[in-house]
Structure 1
Amino acid sequence: MIGHATKAPSGHNTQPWSFKISESEIDIYPDFTRALPVVDPDNRELFVSLGCAVENLCIAASHKGYSTHVVVTGSGVIKIMLSQDSTPNEPSSLFPQIPIRQTNRSLYNGQIIPDDDIASLESIDTEADVSVHFFRIGSPEYEIISNMVYRGNSLQLNNRAFKRELQHWMRYNKKHQDATYDGLSYAVFGAPNIPRFIAKPIISSIINEKSQNKTDRKKIASSSHFILLTTSDNTIEQWVNLGRTLERILLKTTEMGIAHAYLNQPNESSELALEMAQKLGIPNEYPTILIRVGYGKKMPYSLRRAIESCILG
């Protein structure tokens, strides 16, 4: 079950979780040594990632015949109580999607997702105080969000601390990625496996506002919809709930053959997030996670650390 939990997405693939096992409970602890203090100063995205891990674990537990009860403590530890079900569970179609789900950062093919499929995604159960909004390419809202992404790039890529943090988590070739089993692997971006002393200066030179906006314009134009997830009060429990809801959507899109990738730049600036919420007509919600969806070819997978390294004694 923990192995499935660790397949969850996380910012920069930091994998900011630890697990503690007891007789009838698995607890998930935030690992703040893997936090991103520049891009995620409040640890909001960290707790969203933990929520995604919770959802994977609960789906895996149900598959193994357990009922689950989840409690988010004030300190941010998430307790998952397990009890044996007396009756067999209906197999979840999402369970086999857990190991094959991936964040696909590639250019998509421009095909529009059918309305019926969007309706299926809209019908997915959401956790308390979480809202999910869908915006089709060509709509005024899609244009608003796109411009917010470009403005977010301007803020972040002119911030030296942001660039240092990003580069700290970049893995420049196979040897580098295999030494850590975390971070942003060269392969998921479609980069070649070349010596680090060559790759690092090349990649560093293209991490700038102009280059990123040019790339994002193409990727946004190739996508079908934006999906924006928000919370009502911006609390740890709601961030975890949002992560659980997000993972259901990601697993369902995987089942449907739909690719996804993150564009959280506007959510990571409180000023831009507030302005975006106002322009989208949701002024009382907190924009938290933004993804683009569409159809694209499979990309290489991000690596995960050994399960044993994530379990507390």
Structure 2
Amino acid sequence: MPTHSFLPLITQAIHAPSGHNTQPWRFSIQGDAICIAPDLRRALPVVDSDNRELFISLGCAAENLVLAASKQGYATQVHSDETTGNIRIQLTRQDIPSNPLATQITRRQTNRSLYSAQRIPDDVIAQLQQTPSEAGVQIFLYANGTPSYTQIGHHILQANALQMKNPAFKQELKTWLRYNKKHQDSTRDGLSYAAFGAPNVPRWLAEIAMSFAMREAPQHKSCQQQINHASHFALFTLEQNGIPHWINLGRTLQRFLLAATAQNIAHSYLNQPCEERQIAENMAQALSLNTLPVILLRLGYAAPRPYSLRRKLADVIDGEIEHPFQVT
């Protein structure tokens, strides 16, 4: 089977989300399989010290690939190595139905804007609640105005305050900020100025503005507005920690995000309370959960934002590429 026939699948895989848009993956084509390996050079040792969010991102990429493969007539088997975190996806030509979520891969985006405060209908929430989950993953949805929603909001603000007081956290974040179009286009990764709705201004000016914004008071205000204007929180929890469980959560998360995208529901991450261990434990206790909070999303309605760029395939694939594609 010619290796170039799998390149469109990898093109779809790299539309997955990742922390700070680090895109921490390497792909290789091995016969009738595609392997995804962690690129630990793109790890976030401060905010993601155990690489949990990194492996969740790999799970998201794997799920994109599986969905895209169904559209191309491939059945898949997914295996992950619990030691290395490498994911092997075996592809077999079969007459299988295309999963409709595959059409949402390039539409999905992390929308960091302020949402409209419009309520997501109950029947749509019920559909999202039924997203198929991998083993050990649970999804909890909390509506704005409920006591649980308010509790989560308090924990977001507490964790955000901790992170804004941590110089190492802020320095790590700054290394992944892309301050204007020239900076964004030169790296094709990181947190783009455009995704935040910032103007395309000289870098020195953008750096001053970002330094002002990256303080506890402005961030507290921004988080509070995001909490107030969202319709629901979606909290993903795990029964156990470990690489295979994180990958499972990533696959489940990606299905959820694509299902939300199909309903024109915007999403963005408010992971602060999940990233601070003590606050995560306190939040689980406040919500009467016996599982570990790992990923927290806000959901609502918003106009689309510019898409974050993805690196070229030549930069994420091991080996020669006969006919390279470019993702924008």
Q: TM-score range by the shorter chain?
A: over 0.9
Q: What corresponds to 1:4 in structure 2?
A: 12
Question: Residue 100 of structure 2: SS of its match in structure 1?
Answer: coil
Give the Cα–Cα distance (whole angstroms) in 2 for the partners of residues 205 and 101 of structure 1: 30
Q: What corresponds to 1:64 in structure 2?
A: 72
Q: What corresponds to 1:112 in structure 2?
A: 119
Any gaps of 5 or more consecutive residues in structure 2? 1-8, 320-328
Q: How large is the RMSD of aligned CA atoms in angstroms?
A: 0.7
| Distance apart, 1:75 and its partner CA | 1.2
Amino acid in structure 2 at the alignment position of 1:78: I
Selected match of 1:16 from 1, 20, 24:
24
Are 1:246 and 2:253 an aligned pair? yes
Give the Cα–Cα distance (whole angstroms) in 2 for the partners of residues 252 and 25 of structure 1: 26
Are 1:300 and 2:306 an aligned pair? yes
1:250-265 correspondence to structure 2 within 5 Å: 250-265=257-272
Amino acid in structure 2 at the alignment position of 1:297: A
Q: What corresponds to 2:87 in structure 1?
A: 78
Q: What corresponds to 1:135 in structure 2?
A: 142
Give the Cα–Cα distance (whole angstroms) in 1 for the partners of residues 293 and 80 of structure 2: 21
Amino acid in structure 2 at the alignment position of 1:286: L
Give the Cα–Cα distance (whole angstroms) in 2 for the partners of residues 210 and 68 of structure 1: 48
Give the Cα–Cα distance (whole angstroms) in 2 for the partners of residues 234 and 29 of structure 1: 19
1:57-206 correspondence to structure 2 within 5 Å: 57-73=65-81, 74-85=83-94, 87=95, 89-206=96-213
Q: What corresponds to 2:39 in structure 1?
A: 31
Give the Cα–Cα distance (whole angstroms) in 2 for the partners of residues 62 and 92 of structure 1: 6
Give the Cα–Cα distance (whole angstroms) in 1 for the partners of residues 41 and 281 of structure 2: 29
Give the Cα–Cα distance (whole angstroms) in 2 for the partners of residues 132 and 124 of structure 1: 8
Check the 8 A contact 2:132/2:252 in 1, yes or no. Answer: yes
Give the Cα–Cα distance (whole angstroms) in 1 for the partners of residues 99 and 70 of structure 2: 8
Check the 8 A contact 2:36/2:58 in 1, yes or no. Answer: yes
Give the Cα–Cα distance (whole angstroms) in 1 for the partners of residues 123 and 206 of structure 2: 44
| Distance apart, 1:91 and its partner CA | 2.5
Give the Cα–Cα distance (whole angstroms) in 2 for the partners of residues 172 and 182 of structure 1: 12
| Distance apart, 1:262 and its partner CA | 0.2
1:259-274 correspondence to structure 2 within 5 Å: 259-274=266-281
Selected match of 1:290 from 290, 293, 296:
296
Aligned residues: 310
Question: What do the CA deviations read for 1:18-49 (whole angstroms, capped 9, x no partner)?
Answer: 00101111110000000000000000000000
| Distance apart, 1:136 and its partner CA | 0.4
Over the matched positions of the two proteins, sequence identity in percent amounts to 52
| Distance apart, 1:235 and its partner CA | 1.1
| Distance apart, 1:3 and its partner CA | 0.4
Amino acid in structure 1 at the alignment position of 2:162: L
Amino acid in structure 2 at the alignment position of 1:246: L
Give the Cα–Cα distance (whole angstroms) in 2 for the partners of residues 93 and 223 of structure 1: 27
Question: Residue 138 of structure 1: SS of its match in structure 2?
Answer: coil
1:214-229 correspondence to structure 2 within 5 Å: 214-229=221-236
| Distance apart, 1:183 and its partner CA | 0.2
Check the 8 A contact 2:73/2:98 in 1, yes or no. Answer: no
Question: Residue 115 of structure 2: SS of its match in structure 1?
Answer: coil
Question: Residue 94 of structure 1: SS of its match in structure 2?
Answer: helix
Any gaps of 5 or more consecutive residues in structure 1? none
| Distance apart, 1:92 and its partner CA | 2.0
Question: Residue 226 of structure 1: SS of its match in structure 2?
Answer: strand
TM-score (norm 1): 0.98
